[in-house]
A = this chain, B = another copy of it.
Amino acid sequence: MTENTAILLMHCPDRPGLVAGLTGIINEAGGNILHLDQWVNHEENIFFMRIEWDLAGFTVPREGIEEWFLTQFGRRYAVHHTLHFSDERPRMAIFVSKMPHCLYDMLARHAAGEWRVDIPLIVSNHPDLGHVAERFGIEFRCLPVTPENKAAQEESELALVSAELSAKSSGGDRAELTELAERQSHLLHLFESLGGWEKEAEAKKIAAHARGVKLIGATSHFVTADLDQGPIIEQDVVQITHKDTVERLVRKGQDLEKIVLARAVSKLLDHRVLAYGNRTVVFD
């Protein structure tokens, strides 16, 4: 696992020869392909690929790979792509509200070295979780939201995150910075679907739900302008019964949210998620 690799996520209109063409030029430049996942959406005629190759014997210098790809392949086939390197260490800000379970889980994974990511900042609209941030030694910024200042505060949040991530990367190379900023805009918008601070209220609604549902679910998705409408990364359910009290529903729901969110972040950090339109291709 110590090898240094390049990872390319791409999609373009499908046509014969794409796999042969791309693997051919990587091969010619001395790149040994380690993983290749490819899928064609035949209804919409879109070709998707995740390809990872060893940089050890690769003759194109790292900073030239982007341009090399575009010249040799990308521009000809109208490719949308992102290029990643396995030794990059992206930066991720976390937006929280009042419930601590997902925050604790993410910070513990970070502290235990499970994720190759830096977490320089936690942003919240409430002061409640400041002590969790402090416990893990991470900066916590609280921007309270009222109906009047909502739009302004949300802009401040984004500016804050943007500044924080840029500042910390100054001196680093420019391409990486752009790349990270772009990815960052995904990560920090991850949002679990089952709730937020109204968790208990929601669990009560479920408990009293007409028809007696037997499952509850959680979803991790990208966030678009329409908050609960972004493309889905990860989704799972857990069984419930009439015997589950509000307290047990909350516990089951939170346990589910933790694992669904963690799986989504892991897949993003592994560069296995490709969003297009309002959907995702998740390479496993």
Interface residues of A (CB under 8 A from B): 1, 16-17, 19-21, 23-24, 26-28, 30-43, 57, 100-101, 104-105, 108-109, 111-112, 114, 132, 135-136, 207-215, 217, 221, 229-232, 234-237, 241-243, 245-247, 251, 254-255, 259, 262-263, 266, 277-282, 284
Contacts and interface: CB of A to CB of B under 8 A. Distances in A.
Contacts of A231: 211-212
A20 B107 CA distance: 42
How many copies make up the complex? 4
A240 to B, nearest CB: 10
Residue from A37, A214, A234, A251 whose CB has the most chain B CB atoms within 10 Å: A214
A114 B215 CA distance: 21
A257 B33 CA distance: 34
A210 B278 contact: yes
Interchain residue pairs A-B with the least CB separation, the first 7? A104-B108, A212-B279, A20-B27, A20-B23, A214-B235, A16-B32, A210-B278
Contact of A232 (B26, B32, B213, B217): B213
Nearest to A18: B33
B211 A284 contact: no
A248 to B, nearest CB: 8
A259 B266 contact: no
A201 to B, nearest CB: 14
Contact of A23 (B19, B104, B105, B259): B19
A211 B229 CA distance: 7
